Amino acid sequence: MSIVKINVLSVPAEQREVLEQRFGARAGTVENSDGFEWFELLRPVEGTDQYLVYTRWRDEESFQAWMEGPMKAAHQGGDGEGRQRPAAAGSTLWSFEVVQQAAPKQS
C-alpha cells in the first residue's frame, strides 16, 4: 500500500497568503514525480496556525527520490541571492502507511 507524508507548517497569520501563493505557483513540481499519487494543502480553520501539506506516494523510495531531486532543487535557490524567506516559522514531517482506504461508490 501507499505511504503518506504530512508536513506540518507553523504559519504566522501575516504569512498565510504568501504560503498559499507559493504553493499555487509551484506548477507541476511534485505532480510529475515518479510514484507521486496525491497532494493537498490544508488551511487551518480555527484554533491553530498549522497548515498541513498532505502528499501520498507509491512507496518510501519514490518520496525519497523526490526529496533528493526536484524538492531539494526547488528549495535551494542557488547562492542565496533572490531567495525568498520561508513563509512558515517551523515544520514537522509526519509519516504514515496506508492500511485501509475507501472511495465513493460509483453509481
Please report, for the domain that includes residue 17, its CATH number.
3.30.70.100
Residue 107 located in a structural domain: no
Helices (H), 1-107: 16-24, 60-66, 72-76
Query: What is the pLDDT, as a whole number, of residue 18?
Result: 94
How far, in Å, CA of 27 to CA of 59, rounded?
23
Domain boundaries, position 69: 3-77+87-97
pLDDT reading at 103 higher than 50: yes
Residue 64 located in a structural domain: yes
Residue 103 located in a structural domain: no
* Contact criterion met (CB below 8 Å) for 33 and 61: no
pTM for this prediction: 0.83
pLDDT reading at 83 higher than 70: no
How far, in Å, CA of 65 to CA of 46, rounded?
35
Q: How is residue 6 written as a grid cell?
A: 504530512
Q: How is residue 1 written as a grid cell?
A: 500500500
Q: How is residue 101 written as a grid cell?
A: 482506504
Q: At 89, is the pLDDT very low, low, confident or very high (cuts 50, 70, 90)?
A: confident
How far, in Å, CA of 102 to CA of 78, rounded?
42
* Contact criterion met (CB below 8 Å) for 36 and 62: yes
Task: Report pLDDT digits (tens) over 46-69.
Answer: 999 999 999 999 999 999 999 888
Q: How many domains does the chain have?
A: 1
Residue written as grid cell 490544508: 42
Tell me which DSSP letter residue 2 carries: -
